[in-house]
A = this chain, B = another copy of it.
Amino acid sequence: MKAEKNPSFQADALSHKLGAFLDVGSQEKTMLELLQGPQSFIGAGKEVVYEGQNNHAAYVLRKGWVCSYKRLRDGGRQIVDIQIPGDFLGLSSLLLRTSDQGFISLTEIELAKINTNRLQEVLQTTPRLAAALLWAVSRDQAIVVEHLVNIGRRDTMARTAHFLLELHARLSLVGLGTVDGYHCPLPQSVLADALGVTAIHLNRVLRQLREDNLVIFRDSAITFLDRERLARFAGFDLTYLDHKASLTD
């Protein structure tokens, strides 16, 4: 089940993710492949879609990490969400002419452009797959909402813990997590921009989490020392990631 033992696994993260919602048959798997147009490989730190871009495309992230963000007048930025393999980029804002968020690659990435015509076909002809795709979009929204709650109501320590636990759950769903941790290529400055705090303060909070024997973030790796206790401390309840869709039965 480890990603490095099965190279095709990561590239197929999307179908694996959807598999959490329904069994993806081989025909549906083919449809899913057809949805995805030409691949592109992009280095780290590149703007994939910029804020205000017109008629931007939507993509499936096949490898690597991306974040979506909004810039502020004063030069700061707020990271809205982190995208990991199997996630969509810009799908939900496809209907708006201009993207209100920017997307930037955090590592080297592999993207597949979504063929919008085929997408409409799929939505009309393959109801099960359509439901699965809409489920994924709804889940992305729930993630943003939980992020809002996280920033609005938890102090930095619980907030950080919650965020790291969420990433673990999401990565595990696409086979990129281990029992007690995961590879996390984010620099502290990016994590800070996601959590709405300064990098300096985040650094202190990470030290506190480490000294409390809860979680260690070192050498681009998250290691949970006591995930149960951490989840209790953070008030982490993963039902928002776990929703079953209402059309299943």
Binding site for B on A (CB under 8 A): 52, 55, 70, 72-74, 76-78, 80, 92-98, 100-101, 124, 131, 134-135, 138-139, 141-142, 144-149, 151-154, 195-196, 235, 239-240, 243-248
Question: Which residue of B has the minimal Cβ distance to A245?
Answer: B95
CB neighbours (8 Å) of A154 from chain B are 72
Question: Which residue of B has the minimal Cβ distance to A133?
Answer: B95
CB neighbours (8 Å) of A80 from chain B are 145, 148-149
The answer to whether A239 and B97 have CB atoms under 8 Å apart is no
Say what secondary structure dominates the interface of chain A.
mixed
CB neighbours (8 Å) of A55 from chain B are 246
The answer to whether A196 and B152 have CB atoms under 8 Å apart is yes
Known: A72-B149, A100-B145, A100-B240. 17 other contacts (CB 8 A): A72-B153, A80-B148, A80-B149, A92-B138, A93-B138, A93-B141, A95-B138, A95-B247, A96-B245, A96-B246, A97-B243, A97-B246, A97-B248, A100-B142, A141-B144, A144-B148, A152-B195
